[in-house]
Structure 1
């Protein structure tokens, strides 16, 4: 059995979490989904959206930063169990609750099938606001591999550069040049 080390506490991460929570609340209350209108209220909403937009990516970064050294505290099996209990199980439970409620209220039609269940969870069709779970789960799946590479800074720098090129530079270039991309 591995010795459990007490994890070092970083105060600035607590501050980031608090500020990010407030920003998410502001964005959720902002009603930016309203259609465009040339009014000062719409401009104010866009201002709030722009100022608060950083919050969700920061939550992902905090998760990565706090989980990157999980191997020092517990084994990979325990890591996956903890992630499932903290996020996977609530995601499944609340997705199913939303499905039942929305079908019962006539807000959604659902035909039980394998593809319907896959769509329900991978495309968050029962509740669109759960979109963030899917990239979060993908990050959770990547962390065991990335945590092995933490001592290989050159490999991580290369992977970061390739991801930036593939997901940021390439789409912008394609859009600028009028080239379609998938």
Structure 2
């Protein structure tokens, strides 16, 4: 019997892709301007509202992959991952490298870019072609660990032990440092390198929440409660970050911005990401009513979401050079610009996925005809 598709996963994929775009159109938050620039505050609040993006991506990946042994062997697991993420990393890097090198005047930050095979290889190895691809390098690291992590998939207590180790090393230690505690007193005993990457917490946590928490036999959480937790955690991130950076009020902007409280290592982000993940799970009965064309569109958008991750920065940088053209003034608003970038990146990705799928289908038919 075929396993039932979980529609909330498609929804989370699209939501996470949109959230990533909103984070990247608001990067001016890292360059605060004195005097209470309203655009800076818009970016600040967007960062708080959408910082769950990559944590949710990691959580969905962990939920789907940690028990891969029930579906196929380890060799097949790695073949599938190389085909999807490895190829995507190289393809996306190549597109960015060529676009910035061939048309440096058309993209923000590409001035003076040159093309060479050696430069491309060095750029891929050092993540300097498009540094927002850091999450792809991180997910590859998680894939390397997955054959070991999968052995704990059916053992709840072992998963809880893994989560506890990650929480101590990747969340509680940075929290103690942010609160002023001298980290040198903690690192010798608790600075475990194997668990220090917070992405591992989200990766294992996504599987744990889906398997053991938000289920009838576990502790089902209504979506309204998750929505309330999201709102509270988002507001708390904004307030604590504002206070810790020394600005309270629109006329008190600091000269520098410390993003700790609005980052994926923040405990408040962990709560926010869990609320988004669990809220979507709780809405699965409603999402599962989607049929026909509506479901097909959602599946197509979900499948194209990786493409949005790959090409959003070139789109943002291309639009960046055109924000001050006559007739483009409305794009200067961060929220509207994010919507435009997401729509353009998603459209390009859907077109590519459709064309690539059609090409692969045609090649398979030709190969089948040749064997007959």
Band the TM-score falls in, shorter-chain normalisation: 0.7 to 0.9
Which consecutive residues of structure 2, in runs of 5 or more, have no partner in the other structure? 105-111, 192-372
Shift of 1:65: 0.3
Helix, strand or coil for the counterpart of 2:5?
coil
Under a length normalisation based on structure 1, what TM-score does the superposition of the two structures give?
0.80
Question: Shift of residue 162 of structure 1?
Answer: 1.0
Find 1:67's aligned residue among 58, 65, 68: 65
**Which one of 84, 90, 93 corresponds to residue 92 of structure 1?**
90
Q: What is the root-mean-square deviation in Å for CA atoms of aligned residues?
A: 2.8
TM-score by length of 2: 0.42
* 1:64 positional shift: 0.7
Corresponding residue for 2:144? 141
The 5 Å alignment of 1:1-182 reads 6-32=2-28, 35-37=31-33, 38-99=36-97, 102=100, 105=104, 106-107=112-113, 112=118, 117=121, 120-175=123-178, 176-179=180-183
Q: CA deviation at 1:173?
A: 2.5
- Corresponding position of 2:202: none
Q: Distance in 2 between matches of 1:14 and 1:47?
A: 26
Is the contact between residue 127 and residue 134 of structure 2 (CA under 8 Å) also seen in structure 1? Answer: yes
Distance 1:88 1:159 in 2: 26
Q: CA deviation at 1:172?
A: 2.9
* Distance (Å, rounded) in 1 between the aligned partners of 2:93 and 2:9: 29
Mapped to 1, the partners of 2:170 and 2:79 lie a distance apart of: 30
* Cα distance change on mapping 1:99 and 1:17 into 2, 3 Å: closer
How far off its partner does 1:14 sit? 2.1
Distance (whole Å) between structure 2 residues aligned to residue 47 and residue 53 of structure 1: 10
Q: Distance in 2 between matches of 1:173 and 1:73?
A: 41
| Structure 1 residue runs without a partner (length 5+) | none
Aligned residues of 1:122 and 1:134 also touching (Cα < 8 A) = no
Answer with 89-98 or 120-129: which moved more: 89-98
CA contact (8 A) 1:32 1:49 kept: no
CA distance in 1, matches of 2:116, 2:182: 38
Q: Deviations over 1:124-144 (max 9, x none)?
A: 112112111111101111222
Work out whether residues 28 and 43 of structure 2, in 8 Å CA contact, stay in contact via their aligned partners in 1: yes
Shift of 1:35: 1.7
Q: Which moved more, 1:32-41 or 1:57-66?
A: 32-41
Distance 1:139 1:8, change over 3 A: farther
Larger RCO (CA under 8 A, 6+ residues apart): 2
